[in-house]
Amino acid sequence: MTPTRKRRLIAVALILVAVGIATVLTVLALQQNMTYLFSPSEVLAGHTPGGANFRLGGVVLEHSIKRDSTSLKVDFVVTDRFHDMPVEYTGILPDLFREGQSIVATGKMENGHFVAQQVLAKHDETYMPKEVAEAIAKAKAMKRDVPATPPQG
């Protein structure tokens, strides 16, 4: 092997190693920070990853907001108009948060209710995020598959 070839081979090998490491790191970082969106019906049907974070999309059910009287804890119900999911959140809600408003909450399931770390409401009140609209449409389509009584969990 000539010195030039050897140098090239080393260079190519180094580049391949670098690309490999970069790919592995990127994929890992992507996987760890990827969250899927589910509707309450999908959550109750057991589609969600156990114990992992996901996003819950739906409409805040009317007359469901209950505030704690001493802290910033607030309980409310997110619905896709077929199934309901109780949500617990501690913090300041966005300006646009209100009953009947579509929201996306990030968090995970704990003891049968959803504990949110972040709640987003969309800007235009007449406008439902495409994601939530789709989740609701999907819930509609799933209606036949999901048993009327939600499974335990």
Q: Kindly list the residues in this chain that would bind other proteins in the complex (CB under 8 A).
A: 22, 25-26, 29-30, 32-37, 55, 57, 67, 69-72, 91-93, 95-96, 122-125, 129-131, 134-135
Where does residue 3 fall: left (phi above 0), alpha (psi -120 to 50 degrees), or beta otherwise?
Answer: alpha
Instruction: Give yes or no for a contact between 125 and 77, defined as CB atoms under 8 angstroms apart.
Output: no
Shortest CB 113 distance to other proteins, Å = 21
Between residues 50 and 148, which has the closer beta carbon with respect to other proteins?
50
E-assigned strand segments in 45-143: 54-60, 66-67, 73-79, 84-90, 102-110, 113-121
Residue 37 CB, nearest approach to other proteins (Å): 4
Name which of 81 and 98 has its Cβ closer to other proteins: 98
Tell me the closest approach of the beta carbon of residue 133 to other proteins, in angstroms: 10
